[in-house]
Amino acid sequence: MAGSVFGNIFKVTTWGESHGPALGAVVDGCPAGLPIDEEYIQKFLDRRKPGQSEFSTKRNEADKVNILSGVFEGKTTGTPISLVIYNNSQISKDYSNIAECYRPGHADYTFDQKYGFRDYRGGGRSSGRETAGRVAAGAIAVKLLSEFGVEFTTYVESVADISIDYSRFDKSEISKNMLYMPDKTAAEEAAEYLKNLSADKDSSGATVKCVISGVPSGLGDPVFDKLDARLASAIMSIGAVKSFEVGNGKLASKLKGSENNDEFYSENGEVRKRTNNSGGILGGISDGSDIILTAAFKPTPSIYKAQNTVNSKNENISLEIKGRHDPIIAPRAVVVVETMAAIVLADALIMNCGSRVDNLKKIYDR
């Protein structure tokens, strides 16, 4: 039942419920000497903040991060970094009507089955708010990776059937529209679709893509901690994610070997690939090209339409969910996907240092 610790060396523990006094994370195993401050981390938390757009909830969550340990004179000390985000006074009564009932698509029923009872306020630990701790911790991983030239480009690739058109791909557009799509036209079309859906008391699924450049080759630890296996674990652990793909993903099941293989070639003394169908990972180890991930998010399960369900007394009931809920999960989850991927890569980076005797000797040479 312990499942809130992630990572082998760069080890993240998250804690906190939607309506408790605070949420947070502890990062153990971050190397000493990394410059970091609350301002840096805050930028990531701001990206998952609700109330940013007309498609996200109107609750006022300041989500201000506090560093309580592990940083001294602006640098990490190598000791655990404790990050806390205090919850503003949440009014719990919005959720009182769900205390006794099992919302379709939610974890109410399974938490009761597992633990015997649950903190029902706002979803408790199964709320999307839980990801605040992940984002704060993952921001430190992004910072660590940035020291090695690693960069992330993460965005919403599709909303229902509306996909971005890569011929219109514009990275700068991602932070400009409320759906974090790198294609203004697609973003406008999707916005219109969501508006109508909201009016219909419904919600939509979407996909998020994460492209990571500058990753050194050699990261990932076969056979069970292959880089793609670790990334899959990290991304699938985000609430509402129903599929994970790397590179060509599911499409690879439809291709021929001659179509899917990436040819190597040598140029200026470096080994490169003509295509990147593998998504930057071969045999579970990074190959130096871009790492490409896709996650599919289910539609928000909290919809305003009346739904049939049961309560904890096992009675059939009709439920109308109140409160404020986004009609789409993916835009706010973009930064969650990015930071979870960063945690995996930071961990793999540190793990890789011990993989060769000559590497160890570089450090211990006296």
Q: Does 52 bind a second copy (CB under 8 A)?
A: no
Which range in 42-50, 169-177, 182-190, 255-263 contacts a second copy by CB under 8 A? Answer: 255-263
Could you tell me which of 355, 353, 237 has the C-alpha nearest to residue 229? Answer: 237
Rounded Cα–Cα distance for residues 58 and 51 (Å): 5
Minimum distance, C-beta of residue 29 to a second copy, in the bound complex (Å): 3
Rounded Cα–Cα distance for residues 41 and 63 (Å): 11
User: Which residue among 24, 122, 128, 182 contacts a second copy (CB under 8 A)?
Assistant: 24
Tokens 């003394």 belong to which residue?
269
164: phi then psi, degrees, rounded to nearest 5 = -70, 155
User: Which residue among 305, 320, 323, 324 contacts a second copy (CB under 8 A)?
Assistant: 305
Q: For residue 102, what are its two tokens? A: 């099992």
Q: What part of residues 258-297 is at the interface with a second copy (CB under 8 A)?
A: 258-266, 269-271, 278-279, 281-288, 296-297
55: phi then psi, degrees, rounded to nearest 5 = -105, 5
Q: Does 39 bind a second copy (CB under 8 A)?
A: no
Cβ nearer to a second copy, comparing 91 with 360: 360
Q: What is the DSSP letter of 8?
A: S
Q: What part of residues 145-184 is at the interface with a second copy (CB under 8 A)?
A: 147-149, 158, 160-161
Rounded Cα–Cα distance for residues 105 and 111 (Å): 13
Minimum distance, C-beta of residue 17 to a second copy, in the bound complex (Å): 6
Q: What part of residues 63-122 is at the interface with a second copy (CB under 8 A)?
A: 66, 68-70, 72, 75, 77-82, 84, 102, 104-107, 109-111, 113-119
Element (H, E) at 262: none
Q: What part of residues 178-237 is at the interface with a second copy (CB under 8 A)?
A: 197, 202-207, 216-226, 228-237
Q: Does 42 bind a second copy (CB under 8 A)?
A: no
Supply the Cα-derived Rg of the chain in whole angstroms.
21
Cβ nearer to a second copy, comparing 24 with 172: 24
Cβ nearer to a second copy, comparing 181 with 246: 246
Minimum distance, C-beta of residue 40 to a second copy, in the bound complex (Å): 15
Cβ nearer to a second copy, comparing 172 with 195: 195
Rounded Cα–Cα distance for residues 203 and 326 (Å): 8
Q: Which residues of 177-189 are buried (b: 16+ CB within 10 A; e: fewer)?
A: bebbbbbeebbeb
Tokens 């999707």 belong to which residue?
190
Q: How many CB atoms lie within 10 A of CB 58?
A: 9
Q: Does 125 bind a second copy (CB under 8 A)?
A: yes
Contacts of 365 (CB under 8 A, 6+ apart): none
Q: Does 252 bind a second copy (CB under 8 A)?
A: yes
Minimum distance, C-beta of residue 221 to a second copy, in the bound complex (Å): 3
Minimum distance, C-beta of residue 74 to a second copy, in the bound complex (Å): 11
